[in-house]
Amino acid sequence: MKAIVILLDSVNRHFLGLYGQALAHTPNIDRLAKKSVIFDNHWAGSLPCMPARRDLFTGRLNFLERNWGPMEPFDHSLGEALREHGVYSHMVTDHYHYFRTGGENYVQQFDTYAFVRGQELDPWVSKVSRPESAAAFIGKRHPQYELNRTAFHSEADFPSPKTLKQAAEWLESNKDEDRFLLWAEAFDPHEPFDLPQERLHPILHSYSGPEYMWPEYGVVDVPDQALAHIRSRYSALLEMADHWVGKLLDVLDRHNLWEDTTVIFTSDHGYLLGEHSFFAKNYMPVYNEIARLPLTVHLPGGAHAGTRIQALTQSVDLYPTLLESFGIDPQRSCRNRLHGKSLLPLINGQSDKLRDELIYGYFGKNVNITDGQWVYFRSAGEADNRPLHVYTAMPTTLGHALGPSHIEDLKAIEAGAFLSWTEYPVYRIPGHVIRTNDRTQSFLHTGDLIKAHRLFDLSADPCQNNQLFDEDAEKQMIYKLISCMHRHDAPEEQFARLGLQARL
Distances in Å between the Cα of 158 and the Cα atoms of 162, 163, 280, 281, 319 are 6, 9, 22, 24, 30
Closest Cα to residue 477, out of 339, 353, 371?
Answer: 371
How many of the other CB atoms lie within 10 Å of CB of 501? Answer: 10
Per-residue H/E/C for 88-120 = EEEEEECCHHHHCCCCCCCHHHCCEEEECCCCC
- Measure the CA–CA gap between 27 and 340, rounded to whole angstroms: 31
Give the Cα separation of 405 and 456 in Å (integer). 39
Could you give the residue range(s) of every CATH 3.40.720.10 domain in the chain?
A: 2-347
Q: Exposed, middle or buried: residue 448 (CB in 10 Å: 0-12, 13-18, 19+)?
A: exposed
DSSP structure class, residue 133: P
- What are the pLDDT tens digits along the chain (504 aa)? 999 999 999 999 999 999 988 999 999 999 999 999 999 999 999 999 999 999 999 999 999 999 999 999 999 999 999 999 999 999 999 999 999 999 999 999 999 999 999 999 999 999 999 888 777 899 999 999 999 999 999 999 999 999 999 999 999 999 999 999 999 999 999 999 999 999 999 999 999 999 999 999 999 999 999 999 999 999 999 999 999 999 999 999 999 999 999 999 999 999 999 999 999 999 999 999 999 999 999 999 999 999 999 999 999 999 999 999 999 999 998 899 999 999 999 999 999 999 999 999 999 999 999 999 999 999 998 878 999 999 999 999 999 998 777 888 888 999 999 999 999 999 999 998 888 899 888 887 656 666 789 999 999 999 999 999 999 999 999 999 999 999 999 999 999 999 998 666
Measured distance between the N- and C-terminal CA atoms of the chain, rounded to whole angstroms: 45
> Does the reported pTM lie above 0.85?
yes
In DSSP notation, 207-264 reads --SSEEEEPPSEE--S-HHHHHHHHHHHHHHHHHHHHHHHHHHHHHHHTTGGGGEEEE
Give the integer Cα–Cα distance in Å for 15 and 38: 15
d(CA 42, CA 65): 23
405-432 burial, b if ≥16 CB within 10 A, otherwise e?
eeeebeeebeeeebbeebeeebbbbbbb
Contact 18, 42 (CB under 8 A): no
CA distance 504 to 501: 7
As separate numbers, helices (DSSP H) first and strands (DSSP E) second, the chain gives 13, 26
Q: Are 69 and 397 in contact (CB under 8 A)?
A: yes
Q: Which helix (H) or strand (E) holds 50?
A: helix 49-58
How far apart CA 163 and CA 155 sit, in angstroms, is 12
- Residues 166 and 92 sit within 8 Å (Cβ to Cβ): yes
Question: Cis omega before residue 189 (within 30°)?
Answer: yes
Q: CB of 238 within 8 A of CB of 295?
A: no
- AA letter at 439: R
- Confirm if 389 and 429 have CB atoms less than 8 A apart: yes
Per-residue DSSP letters for 362-431? ETTS-EEEE-SSEEEEE--SSTT--S-EEEESS-EETTEE--BSSGGGGGG-EEE---TT--S-EEEEEG
**Measured between alpha carbons, how far is 478 from 485 in angstroms, rounded to an integer?**
10
Q: Whole-angstrom Cα distance, residue 63 to residue 269?
A: 14
CATH: 3.40.720.10, 3.10.510.20, 3.30.360.10, 3.40.109.10. Which one for 2-347? 3.40.720.10
Q: Is 91:103 a contact under the CB 8 Å cutoff? A: no
Model pLDDT, residue 213: 97
* 464 sits in which H/E element: none
Per-residue pLDDT, 133: 73
DSSP string, 140-193: ---HHHHHHGGG--SGGGSHHHHHHHHHHHHHHHTTT--SEEEEEEE-TTSSS-
Rounded CA-CA distance 61/283 in Å is 20
Largest Cα–Cα distance of the chain, in whole Å? 63
Is residue 75 a contact partner of residue 58, using CB atoms and an 8 Å limit? Answer: yes
Please tell me the number of Cα atoms within 13 Å of 175 on its side-chain side: 16
Structure confidence at residue 447 (pLDDT): 60
Give the residue among 337, 346, 285 at the shortest CA–CA distance from 314: 346
| 177 C-beta neighbours (distance < 10 Å), count | 10
pLDDT at site 260: 98
Residue 187 in contact with residue 160, Cβ under 8 Å? yes
Pairwise CA distance, residues 225 & 206, whole Å: 9
